[in-house]
Amino acid sequence: MSKTNDEVYEVVRKHLLEICPDIKADRVVRTASMKELGASSLDMVEVVSCSMRELGVRIARQELSTLKDIGGLVDLLHDAALKKKVA
């Protein structure tokens, strides 16, 4: 069964808070960027990699480079999960 957009958000949120324990949970919202929350570029790569691994999807770096916030990442991961289910 494919995950809902909210479930994908929870996966991303979980990995972000595990990898960056200094980030307060209440600040992790869809409109925030990981950078403005204090995540380093290495932290961001790890969050994306862990999230993709857990969801069983792959996304091209080019697509990832256009993202502005957590919500954009969630939408991209969710779309990839839906396409995977159809394929």
Q: Where are the domains of the chain?
A: 5-86
Please report, in tens digits, the pLDDT of each residue of the chain (87 residues total). Answer: 579 999 999 999 999 999 999 999 999 999 999 999 999 999 999 999 999 999 999 999 999 999 999 999 999 999 999 988 765
Instruction: Please state, in angstroms and rounded to a whole number, the distance separating the CA atoms of residues 14 and 7.
Output: 11
Domain 5-86 fold is 1.10.1200
Are the C-beta atoms of 56 and 78 separated by less than 8 Å?
Answer: no
